[in-house]
Structure 1
Amino acid sequence: MTVATGLQDLTDRYVAVWNEPDAERRRAAIRELWSADAVHTLQPPGDLRRTAQGLGFGRLVLEARGHDALDVRGTRAHEEFVAPGDYLFRSCGDAGRLHDVVKFHWEMTSRDGGEVAAVGLEILLLGPDGRITGDYQFIEG
């Protein structure tokens, strides 16, 4: 397996978590991809950050720590965006790796026409076993 193939497999499996309709399969995929104490950190979209700043909050960052919290995060994202039948997530195929750091972009596209509704940048830190220990998500558009 080449590095590129391994990266494509990782990003495909990562994106599949958010599209997975079956809760048990989603939970199993989370346990396979993320370490037990992994942290998923989300920088919310600009409008949410501006609203928080308007309420007197400084830096707004959301975190999910551990498998149970990641399961809640994955379930909520699926329920809000994928389950209603409006959107799907996909990797942009631009993954790169430097030592234990992986970066790639993903898109949330409309299910019917593939129109891009959102774009994100994912930065993953991998542990010695190849599972994700740190997951940093930036919503870019």
Structure 2
Amino acid sequence: MPDELARRYLATWNERDPARRRALIDELWTEDAGYVDPIATADGRAAIDDVVATAQQQFPGLVYRLAGSVDSHHHVARLTWELAPPDGPPVIIGLAVLITEQARLRRVYGFLDHTPPPGARR
């Protein structure tokens, strides 16, 4: 289950079609879900959708992918992800801590481990 949850979570970040992305969010996240990372905070599915859409606009052509295995216990999973060109090295590396409730995401806490230096091209 943790691997499937991670796959679905990253698929949401990669879905470019707004209607399909929102459907994935509605299916995966609880109604009162929350997301927080060093750059964004979102309460509720609509706000989470806005955060994902903004990230896609900031990093066109890049995709989120799993970097390593998913670790989990109880209702918590953690995964390392990369944001990269489809066949290239990562531009950003991060960690996501997923809190689940009845197999859906209730909270996600994101951390950025590696980011481009200020002024670097994306």
Relative to the length of structure 1, the TM-score reads 0.76
Structure label with greater radius of gyration: 1
Structure 1 residue 130 corresponds to structure 2 residue 91: no
Name the amino acid aligned to 1:97: S
CA RMSD of aligned residues (A): 1.2
- Determine which structure has greater relative contact order: mean sequence separation of CA pairs < 8 Å that are 6+ residues apart, divided by chain length: 1
- How many residues are paired up? 114
1:75 matched residue in structure 2: 53
Name the amino acid aligned to 2:103: G
| 1:92 Cα offset (Å) | 1.5
Gaps of 5+ in 2: 115-122
* Structure with greater helix percent: 1
1:48 matched residue in structure 2: none
| 1:109 Cα offset (Å) | 1.1
Identity of aligned residues (%): 34
Gaps of 5+ in 1: 1-5, 45-61
Q: Does structure 2 conserve the Cα–Cα contact (< 8 Å) formed by 1:40 and 1:65?
A: yes
1:105 matched residue in structure 2: 80
Q: Does structure 2 conserve the Cα–Cα contact (< 8 Å) formed by 1:40 and 1:70?
A: yes
